[in-house]
């Protein structure tokens, strides 16, 4: 069993509405050993894709994305949820993303300065439920003319439609931990 799966079993908490809380090792407090094992899984799966950038969305995806970018020796870029004064409206790519866990929608931005048509981008995110964040990040990549070469997910709730949506759109999706069910407060993995 992977380090991440074991941590999910040992410390993950199931909440109503199919919400899995992993704040003690992935989303709020971060266990570097878990992130290292995730980074290695992503590297092994995506190592032949010619990646030039790793993209995530703030904030929970930053830790795994940074480790993956370090392993690939490429820059890590994250989409911001608030437009800073240093980015003019004409100098950004923008899309709307809905968060399943927070039940909010946010416009997210990246500067045109850091993504262009020659980039081969790997998206990394902490969770996959309905695929909103990953699809939004792929939209930003598409706006730039770059290529999405893959989507790496730390924890996937396979009983929700995110994977199907992303694969239907033609994306290569790899998840280090796939959850089949959170029924009755029990975590069951998809093998």
Domain containing residue 100: CATH number: 3.40.50.2020
Find out whether 130 is annotated in a ligand binding site. yes
**φ, ψ at 21 (rounded to 5°):** -95, 120
Residue 13 CB coordination number (10 Å): 13
Find out whether 27 is annotated in a ligand binding site. yes
Q: pLDDT tens-digit profile of 83-141?
A: 777 778 789 999 999 877 778 888 999 999 999 999 999 999 999 999 999 999 999 99
Find out whether 107 is annotated in a ligand binding site. no
Beta bridge partners, 175, equal 153
Tokens of 52: 């030039």
Q: Is the dihedral of CA 63, 69, 70, 72 positive or negative?
A: positive
Q: pLDDT tens-digit profile of 10-59?
A: 999 999 988 999 999 998 999 999 999 999 999 999 999 999 999 999 98
pLDDT of residue 1: 67
pLDDT of residue 127: 94
Beta bridge partners, 176, equal none
Yes or no: say if 122 and 145 are a contact pair by the CB < 8 Å rule.
no
List CB contacts of 156: < 8 A, sequence separation 6 or more.
127, 128, 162, 163, 173, 175, 177, 178, 179, 190
Domain containing 157 equals: 3-189
Tokens of 33: 């050993």
Find out whether 65 is annotated in a ligand binding site. no
CA 85-118-44 angle, to 5 degrees, is 100
Q: pLDDT tens-digit profile of 111-122?
A: 999 999 999 999
Distance CA 51, CA 65 (A): 13
Yes or no: say if 60 and 97 are a contact pair by the CB < 8 Å rule.
no
Domain count for the chain, please give it: 1
């Amino acid at each position: 069993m992977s380090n991440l799966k074991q941590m999910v079993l040992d410390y993950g908490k199931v909440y109503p509405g199919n919400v899995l809380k992993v704040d003690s090792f992935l989303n709020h407090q971060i266990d570097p050993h878990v992130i290292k094992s995730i980074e290695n899984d992503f590297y092994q799966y995506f190592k032949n894709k010619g990646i030039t950038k790793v993209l995530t969305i703030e904030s929970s995806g930053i830790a795994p994305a940074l480790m993956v970018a370090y392993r690939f020796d490429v820059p890590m870029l994250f989409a911001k949820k608030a437009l800073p004064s240093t980015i003019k409206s004409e100098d950004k790519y923008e899309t709307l993303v809905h968060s399943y866990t927070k039940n909010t929608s946010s416009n997210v931005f990246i500067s045109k300065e850091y993504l262009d048509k020659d980039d081969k981008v790997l998206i990394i995110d902490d969770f996959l439920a309905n695929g909103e964040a990953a699809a939004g990040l792929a939209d930003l990549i598409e706006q730039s003319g770059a290529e999405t070469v893959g989507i790496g997910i730390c924890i996937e709730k396979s009983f929700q439609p995110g994977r199907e949506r992303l694969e239907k759109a033609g994306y290569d999706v790899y998840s280090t931990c796939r959850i089949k069910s959170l029924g009755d407060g029990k975590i069951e993995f998809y093998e």
